[in-house]
Chain A
Amino acid sequence: DAGVIQSPRHEVTEMGQEVTLRCKPISGHDYLFWYRQTMMRGLELLIYFNNNVPIDDSGMPEDRFSAKMPNASFSTLKIQPSEPRDSAVYFCASGEGYEQYFGPGTRLTVT
Chain B
Amino acid sequence: AQTVTQSQPEMSVQEAETVTLSCTYDTSESDYYLFWYKQPPSRQMILVIRQEAYKQQNATENRFSVNFQKAAKSFSLKISDSQLGDAAMYFCAYRISGNTPLVFGKGTRLSVIA
Contacts and interface: CB of A to CB of B under 8 A. Distances in A.
Contact of A56 (B47, B101, B102, B105): B101
Interface in A81-111: 89, 91, 93, 95-100, 102, 104-105, 107
B104 A42 contact: yes
Contacts of A107: 43
Interface in B25-58: 33, 42-45, 47, 50
Main secondary structure of the interface of B (DSSP, over half): loop
Given A95-B99, A96-B99, A105 B43 contact: yes
A50 B3 CA distance: 23
B75 interface: no
Contacts of B103: 45
Contacts of B101: 33, 45, 48, 56
A43 B99 CA distance: 17
A45 B43 contact: no
Interface of A: 30-31, 33, 35, 42-45, 48, 50, 56, 89, 91, 93, 95-100, 102, 104-105, 107
